[in-house]
Amino acid sequence: MPLTPHGRTDSNGRSDSNGRGGAVGLSVVGTGEEPDEGNAGTSSAETEAEAGAEAGAEAEAESGTETGAGAGAGSGDPPADAGELERVLAELLAFLRRRITGDYTVDEHGFDVDLTEHVVAPLLRPIYRSYFRVETRGLENIPDRGGALVVSNHSGTLPLDALMTALAVLDHHPAHRHLRMLAADLVFAVPFLAPLARKTGNTLACHADAERLLGAGHLVGVWPEGFKGIGKPFSERYKLQRFGRGGFVSAALRSGAPIIPCTVVGAEEIYPMVGNARTLARVLGLPYVPITPTFPWLGLLGLLPLPSKWIIEFGEPVDTSQYTAAAAEDPMLVFELNDRIRETIQHTLYGLLMQRRSVFF
Amino acid sequence: MRPRRVLVTGVSRPLGAEMALALAADPEIVDVVGVDTIAPAEDLGRTQFVRVDIRNPLIAKVISTAAIDTVLHLSVLATPLGAGGRAAMKEINVIGTMQLLAACQKAPGVRKLVVKSTTSIYGSSPRDPALFTEEMEPRGFPGGGYAKDAVEVEGYVRGFGRRRPDIAVTVLRLANVLGPGVDSPLARYLDLPVVPTVLGFDPRIQLLHAEDAMAVLMKATREDHAGTFNVAGDGVLLLSQAIRRAGRPPLPIPFPAIGSLGNIARRLRLVDFSSEQLGFLAHGRAVDTTKLKEVFGYVPRYSTVATFDSFVHDRELRFTIDHELVERVEHGLRGLLAGHRPAGTSR
């Protein structure tokens, strides 16, 4: 297939021109890490400093600032643009002050933009760029403004695919939109996960929340396979599960928001789930407890995902503005659209898998 | 219908007293009758105070003698601290409401009923939608305390509305009210020098300024707005954020331990930490106020954040973490940075 690599560089070039962080490395397929080094270096230094900052914010004001600043200055990198460094540190200080004094706003869903943009996204960015070397295509299918519903396949035991999709849109879409994700209620019952989920833009996957977000003109992400998709055994990889009851379709119909199918390749291989500790899962009240070749055998080390190479492709939007809100009450239409979107994603999956040379490159 | 003779229950509590005063100041209102089980602490103007327990059938006589046309039911208690225990609180809330409604049903002159309820009837659970609208049912039914009482009270009020369709019934579901004179469990809780929180959770909370609560109750009394309305300030605050804004250190406590700690706090009469409030501290709650703004026609003057800030300001909360100090430290460090710049460029 001589066309494949060519096609890839093409789409890379496009996603790069959109890129905010200037991910130069992605244009060279397979050796993405080397030219990326300089960038990755700065971003991880930032991340460290900010991670320290967040810890500091939680614990103690002044000492936290000092260690955070110290870490940032200590790992100051070769280009050493002093003005730049000063700007970064000043921003860091301002961020810390906001966190300590509570001077930030969260929206009614609990979304904390300040925390998401300054702590969570910088932490995920190196994973996105250097670890999974995510290649994002079709971002032009996401509108710059207004409500839209991104519907994606779900896989990988832990929902890293959702995080990477959100980061792809935030970093590489020209409008830098936040993807507001719809999550299962289990997420909001788990300590530590629950507040983090809300702060990073998740809300409960229910009609009321989906329609409220779409109506307010947000970009909403939904993974209709749910636990059936993310917790499926490795042997069933890239086989789409049932797409729920089509709730997302009726939400989109009611709000007149376009549906954008999204296909993620690579996330299936990060934690190959070869078994499921059912009894333990039942005791813990979880939908599944994965057994992978490394987990739980290697303990915490087993939690390290395999560094597969990812492709995220946003497909052509399905326009729903031609239907009236009453269409949402027509189960036939809802099922039909549901199946159509599922088929689209499944076909894109097969296509991308054909193009993929190997799992890891 | 303009109210002429108004009955206010729970008039010895701050909100009731303020409402009675405000109604008494209105020359169009002929009579204001206030009832409660204890004597009011402050002067209620021309309000006639009748010391009567609404659990007693005597209330019917008060209504008929004074020819009451509007009943403002404010005596649904939020905390057992002032009532003398949970059992007494439930008596006052539920049996009291039943008696009052029974009396109203028999009184042909009554044209309007305004009931103060609470948004805690929606409960707090991880399966809650981000915002509750008035039509939504609670996901987790409130297990006890104020919320359960309020659910029962609203149930009786709905039944009453069916039996007397000629009476305009307004139910106002107020979010947590904070204000200069308000002594609520939440106010006491936020007033603690170290604020205990549930480890691993950070609820969204919504507040209502006492002035807005007053204004909404007043509007409901003066005008006819039958129906149920959520009343809350715009926006939400995260509990962690509120604690930071108040300059308090939080004290995260694991879920199992916080229950027993709550019991001790209740014994000491510090704060009322009932199970329903624990759910609130873990999962929080927020409501949609579109209906209040568009149908009822009132836009709260204070947002949730403004309510909280004015609460912090009014109470003169002693800042454990001084915000000015934090700002000074930031300025100092930035100055230090700028001072180091020449050194940085020469490198």
Give CA–CA dist B104/B167, Å, rounded. 10
Confidence of residue A252 (pLDDT cuts 50, 70, 90): very high
Give the DSSP H or E segment for A170. helix A160-172
B5: nearest Cα among B32, B36, B45, B44: B32
Q: Please tell me the distance in Å from A326's CA to the nearest CA on chain B.
A: 20
Give CA–CA dist B236/A147, Å, rounded. 22
Residues A21-75: tens digit of each pLDDT: 333 333 333 333 333 333 433 333 333 344 444 444 433 333 333 333 333 333 4
CATH of domain A133-270+305-355: 3.40.1130.10
CB atoms within 10 A of CB A35: 15
Give CA–CA dist A314/A261, Å, rounded. 6
Q: What is the CA radius of gyration of chain A?
A: 21
CB atoms within 10 A of CB A6: 9
Which residues of chain B neighbour A203 with C-beta distances below 8 Å?
Answer: 130
Query: Tokens standing for A288?
Result: 């599944």
User: Hey, where are the domains in chain A?
Assistant: 33-111, 133-270+305-355
Give CA–CA dist A322/A332, Å, rounded. 16
Q: What is the pLDDT of residue A9?
A: 36
- Residue A70 CA, distance from chain mean position: 31
How many DSSP H helices and E strands does chain B contain? 13, 13
- State which residues of chain B have pLDDT below 70: 80-83, 143, 259, 266-275, 317-320, 340-347
Q: What is the pLDDT of residue A8?
A: 39
Least CA distance to B235: which residue of chain A?
A108
Chain A, chain B: beta-carbon pairs less than 8 Å apart = 116
* pLDDT at A128 > cutoff 70: yes
CB atoms within 10 A of CB A24: 14
Residue B261, SS3 per DSSP: helix
Q: What is the pLDDT of residue A79?
A: 52
Which residues of chain A neighbour B325 with C-beta distances below 8 Å?
Answer: 61
Q: ipTM of the assembly?
A: 0.87
Give CA–CA dist B243/A248, Å, rounded. 37
Give the DSSP H or E segment for A282. helix A278-284
Q: Please tell me the distance in Å from B336's CA to the nearest CA on chain A.
A: 10
A68: nearest Cα among A88, A51, A49: A49
Residue B334 is nearest to which of A90, A189, A209, comparing CB atoms? A90
CB distance A157 to A271 below 8 Å = yes
pLDDT averaged over every residue in chain A = 81
Confidence of residue A77 (pLDDT cuts 50, 70, 90): very low
- Residue B181 CA, distance from chain mean position: 12
Residue A65 is nearest to which of B126, B235, B329, comparing CB atoms? B329
Give the DSSP H or E segment for B231. strand B227-231
Interface contact flag, B238 A97, Cβ < 8 Å: no
Residue B140, SS3 per DSSP: coil
Q: What is the pLDDT of residue A15?
A: 39
- Interface membership of A93 toward B (CB under 8 Å): yes
Q: What is the pLDDT of residue B318?
A: 61
Residue B217, SS3 per DSSP: helix
Query: Tokens standing for A149?
Result: 């519903």
Q: What is the pLDDT of residue B46?
A: 87
DSSP string computed for A215-261:
HTT-EEEE-TTHHHHHT--GGGTT-----TTSHHHHHHHHHTPPEEE
Planar angle of CA B56, B59, B63, nearest 5 degrees:
170
Planar angle of CA B123, B124, B129, nearest 5 degrees:
100
Percent of chain B exceeding pLDDT 90 equals: 49
Residue B130 is nearest to which of A61, A90, A209, comparing CB atoms? A209
* pLDDT at A263 > cutoff 70: yes
Q: What is the pLDDT of residue B34?
A: 93
Interface contact flag, B286 A108, Cβ < 8 Å: yes
**How many CA atoms within 13 Å lie on the side-chain side of A357?**
11
Q: What is the pLDDT of residue A204?
A: 95
Q: What is the pLDDT of residue A238?
A: 93
Give CA–CA dist A57/B283, Å, rounded. 23
Residue B94, SS3 per DSSP: helix
Residues A133-170: tens digit of each pLDDT: 999 999 999 999 999 999 999 999 999 999 999 999 99
CB distance A273 to A233 below 8 Å = yes
